[in-house]
Amino acid sequence: MTSPESENQGYEKKDINVIKVIVVAVGILIILIMIIVVLNDFFTAEKEEIVYEQTLKPENPLLQELRAKENETLNTYKLLDPVHRIYQIPIERAMQLLVQEAGG
């Protein structure tokens, strides 16, 4: 007779279920790929937000001043040279005058 101790020693009497191992491995691989894709999207979005906050959003005061001067130059009337009677007019009005001049 064999004792219970001798049955537990030795080698496995049956093979592993290969299909279950493959299914589990494929499942783990799919989950891992999904995690990588989600993390990549998350980090890309965070990086874009940081770039926007640090470089694109803040507006330099010198740039604001320059834009204000440009707007004033483009949209106001002004006497530039009283001797030669040279005037500055808004750009929209200048374009209207050019169209009228070209048309007739």
Give the number of domains in the chain: 2
The CB density around residue 103, as the number of other CB atoms within 10 Å, is: 6
Q: Which domain holds residue 52?
A: 16-58
The mean pLDDT of the chain is 88
- Across the range 14-31, mean pLDDT stands at 94
- Across the range 43-68, mean pLDDT stands at 90
Same domain, 54 and 64: no
Residue with tokens 């007019």: 89
Residue with tokens 């005061």: 61
Residue 96 pLDDT: 93
Torsion of CA 22, 27, 28, 34, to 10 degrees: 150
Residue 104 lies in a domain: yes
Same domain, 45 and 70: no
Under the banding of pLDDT at 50, 70 and 90, the label for residue 71 is: very high
Same domain, 65 and 53: no
Residue 2 pLDDT: 56
Torsion of CA 20, 23, 26, 30, to 10 degrees: -130
- Across the range 82-88, mean pLDDT stands at 91
Give the Cα separation of 74 and 91 in Å (integer): 5
Give the Cα separation of 67 and 76 in Å (integer): 14
